Structure 1
């Protein structure tokens, strides 16, 4: 048997071993400390990219940083949405997020300069003027011309490299690409970098909201008149669209795509009847008949197709008891397909027989709804997420003249907004400043 002293020594040794083991378990490993420190650093850097402040020293831990980020990004929607540490870490690695953050940092560095003010002058190759030196400096800082090192007298000469850079700048800003210092181009050149920082931060927030890498996100930019579908920050589908003109702007919406209608009938709203259709009837007595319009009774299923030679007075009288409806077919204003998006403004997406309008640079031309240049491709993308049997029925419906409605089981989110800054498929920053000027006729 062990002596009393030896027994006490053994018990003490066991206690010390247990205490040491507990301390080892409680203390994080060096690797864990390094990982936590790196994550905190990444989160703090993201806060700085999204924020105008130069310091976030009061945010010292991950919990505080996450809370601040969620407030920055989701604002009033915070109760319904928020992201975790792991989600932010994954988003930080995404290519589109990384590109926007690099641009934010670049424009923040440019904001430290006294930004030059260019005045409009008539440019020609070989011209020497101080405005050209300013122009060359701006284009180089914005990446539209290569960085240069040349004598001061050469900086002031308008040469092919400055002309090419100016055209690239105009293309990125949605201006007429003519290599001239027109007013719109000058206003964009003179815009302070701090304004661009704010635009890029808004674009970054929108990208961070599309955080679920398993989801497809549909967006319509009302400024560049384009629909895009992205998944995990990568563009899946892009097409030109027609949006509302300045007198009937498409509203900003955040909703879902719920129903596809094949061979839709069109019931024009009163605003279109009294602004457009009455005028057409006045000019062409057989306008209603030639464009497949009928009347449907408000109180029964009765359809009246007796619309030949109808004048404006008769049309107004008939509208008291019946709705004006354009039947499905090649002349229907909605084309072959209509896409329902729940909203209170009666806005939807649809096909159109007037395909030539998509060739215009400015496509703010509709009464508010969004016309798609490739509705069949868009419908195929949506239907590929539906069950096989539904897809087969849909294919058959496209071959018929009957109206069919397909409620989607996989309803994609769609965001319709005025987005002033974004990165295009070639990785170039695109900026649009002139929202009020949208809708000018360009032939």
Structure 2
């Protein structure tokens, strides 16, 4: 028993990261203390002062504890769990420690490895109570605190610690429903508690690799690796000389120690020349951080190089939390759009079949996170231009160039009935148009159409869809936020082939597109699509990637999580 406690204590020390004593943390500590005091004050005790651990004591105590003192898991859930088992203790039976107690404490000790905070599950207090129980009478608060901690951690691992919609108002993917009381009761009745608890966290490759990366970065922090910021510098191109090159070389060596990427395995040197070996390493680093792998060291590359292990730890924890928000089963075939990484991946039976760059919404027209089912494609689509875009973006262009709408194939209507006669744009005084834009604009199919030749439709309240684009050059940019919220695709035809999942689908589509006609193609089976915001992700080759927090959503989550 002593060795187990020592192992758990060593594990706690390794993964423990200090956080400031905020007012909320103090309140939570007070609640926990009140919960413990309530147990000691309200329960009957034996002649030697220890408190009896039995059904009567549990029922009495749970009936008297106030909801404010019940801590992380609601009192109702705690009561319901014990009601399921007629208030029989779980971890202390006949005033003796059950073997399941050490399984439970070992489970709670894994919280830090999952990117969570062991303080939220009172690990230190449980270890102290467990030690006291081996030296004398077993206190009842060990029973209740253990149950409370297991229920809380089980819920947090299964559906996320945070309520997604509260910490990120742009997240609209529903978190799964999970009943921790029912799950724990089934786990105990199964006789295989350990296996049930191990099944709670996501088992996806992405989550597990982030978990490993988290451990590597924490090891760097424990070892006290020196992380000197690279100063602001002009563009450094291959074969140039600069005094900061040795420092950049050191940073790449540090990256190799963490990730083991073979491209990062370079020889230490004090040379100030930006040589071929370092150029290749920088290109790999740029690719890993969602940047154009051109080997030119600019402000975005410098910002990525300057991210400290502590910052990477927080980034990993946030994204592990987001993965816990997602459904456990995404489907056999589905699309995953990573808004933060500007990527779309088509996945079939766990394999990445297609990967491409995408363009997402501008920061003031940001693309939200949600899920839906793709129902149909539209070939050679019209673009019914939203009123806000017509007024804010296109009206100024027409005012500056009276031929703009005509040159872009944009028709003007007095209302949304497109069957009515289009108005002559030259007959309208566009400079007299005020804030209330009184017209309806529609762009005809063609090479200048902003939607390109294909758009992918799926129901959602945001009027967002995937589509082709004539502005292919924008895919070469590092940060690709140029749309009004919809997703522009680098490889629309290849995606259409995956979505339709039929022989000769692409050949058939090309023929229909070349006809110039607007054609709707219904999917034989609707395809799930998930638009997520992940600033850390994993590719098919198990490489882990990082991107910048372009919409500031990581920052919002951090403010709530206090990580």
TM-score (norm 1): 0.69
**Which of 115, 118, 122 is the equivalent residue of 2:229?**
118
Residues 295-314 of structure 1 mapped to structure 2, 5 A cutoff: 295-298=412-415, 302-307=419-424, 309-313=426-430
Q: Secondary structure at the match of 1:303?
A: coil
Alpha-carbon distance between aligned partners in 2 of 1:332 and 1:164, rounded to the nearest angstrom: 39
Alignment CA distance shift 1:46-1:260 (3 Å): farther
Q: Which residue number in structure 1 is paired with residue 177 of structure 2? A: 80
In the TM superposition, what whole-angstrom CA distance separates every residue of 1:140-180 from its partner, at most 9, and x where no partner exists?
A: 433463387xxxxx764557555654443344234576767
Measured against aligned partners, the alpha-carbon deviations of 1:79-109 in whole angstroms (never above 9, x if no partner) come to 6357976796497664333322211111111
Q: Which residue of 138, 141, 152 maps to 2:257?
A: 141
**Which of these residues, 525, 528, 533, is aligned with residue 412 of structure 1?**
528
Does the 8 A contact of 2:360 with 2:367 survive in 1? no
Correspondence for 1:202: 318
Tell me the SS of whatever aligns to 2:158: helix
Equivalent residue, structure 2, for 1:422: 537
User: Structure 1, residues 13-45: CA drift from partner, whole Å, max 9, x if none?
Assistant: xxxxxxxxxxxxxxxxxxxxx9x9999968964
- Any stretches of 5+ residues in structure 2 without a counterpart? 1-98, 127-145, 165-173, 184-194, 553-563
Deviation string, structure 1 residues 19-72 (Cα, Å, up to 9, x no partner) = xxxxxxxxxxxxxxx9x9999968964763231438857568976653341253
Deviations 1:303-358 (A, max 9, x none): 224536445439959x9775222233443322222223444443322222333433
Distance 1:157 1:56, change over 3 A: farther
Q: Which of 332, 339, 353 is the matching residue for 1:222?
A: 339
2:432 and 2:421 map into 1 onto residues whose CA distance is 12
Q: Which residue of 2 aligns with 1:433?
A: 548
- Please give the alpha-carbon distance, in whole angstroms, between the structure 2 residues aligned to 1:372 and 1:259: 18
Q: CA deviation at 1:206?
A: 3.7
CA, structure 1 residues 88+335, in 2 after alignment: closer, same or farther (shift >3 Å)? farther
Match of 1:188 among 280, 304, 307: 304
Deviation at residue 401 of structure 1 after TM alignment: 0.7
Please report how far the alpha carbon of residue 239 of structure 1 lies from its aligned counterpart in structure 2 after TM superposition: 1.4
User: What CA RMSD, in Å, does the superposition of the two structures yield over aligned residues?
Assistant: 4.7
Q: Residues 167 and 178 of structure 1 are in contact (CA less than 8 Å); yes or no, is this contact kept in structure 2? A: yes
TM-fit CA distance, 1:111: 1.8
**1: distance between equivalents of 2:347 and 2:227?**
37
1:9-408 equivalent positions in 2, closer than 5 A: 45=110, 48-53=113-118, 56=123, 58=126, 65-72=153-160, 75=163, 80=177, 89=199, 94-112=204-222, 113-120=224-231, 131=247, 135=251, 138-142=254-258, 143=260, 145-146=264-265, 156-157=270-271, 160=275, 164-175=280-291, 184-208=300-324, 209-212=326-329, 214-231=331-348, 233-246=350-363, 248-262=364-378, 263-298=380-415, 302-307=419-424, 309-313=426-430, 316=433, 323-384=440-501, 401-404=517-520, 406=522
Distance in 1 (alpha carbons) for counterparts of 2:200 and 2:518: 47
**Which range moves more in the overlay, 163-172 or 331-340?**
163-172
Whether the 8 Å CA contact 1:91–1:211 is kept in 2: the answer is no
CA distance in 2, matches of 1:192, 1:222: 23
- The secondary structure found in structure 1 opposite 2:315 is helix
Q: 2:416 touches 2:440 (CA, 8 Å); kept in 1?
A: no
SS at match of 1:188: helix
Distance, in Å, in 1 between the alignment partners of 2:197 and 2:499 is 26
SS of residue paired to 2:384: coil
CA-CA distance at 1:379 after TM superposition: 2.8
- CA distance in 1 between counterparts of 2:410 and 2:245 reads 63
For 2:200 and 2:301, how far apart are their aligned partners in 1? Answer: 38
Instruction: State the secondary structure of the residue aligned to 2:526.
Output: coil
Aligned residues: 394
Write the distance in 2 (CA, Å) between the matches of 1:40 and 1:79.
Answer: 26
* CA distance, structure 2, for counterparts of residue 366 and residue 79 of structure 1: 31
Asked if structure 2 preserves the Cα contact closer than 8 Å seen for 1:286 and 1:307, the reply is no
Identify the structure with bigger relative contact order (alpha carbons < 8 Å, sequence gap 6+): 1
Residues 189-245 of structure 1: CA distance to partner in whole angstroms, max 9, x if unpaired?
343312212222333344453522643342322333211233565323211112223
Contact 2:206–2:537 (Cα < 8 Å) also in 1: no
Of 351-360 and 49-58, more deviation after overlay is shown by 49-58
- In structure 2, do the counterparts of structure 1 residues 194 and 38 end up closer, same or farther at CA, with 3 Å as the change threshold? same
- 1:433 alignment partner, SS class: coil
Could you tell me how far apart the structure 2 residues matched to 1:168 and 1:299 are? 50
* Alpha carbons of structure 1 residues 376 and 92: separation in structure 2 relative to 1, 3 Å: same
Question: Structure 1 residues 359 and 96 mapped into 2: Cα distance closer, same or farther (>3 Å)?
Answer: same
Aligned to 1:3: none
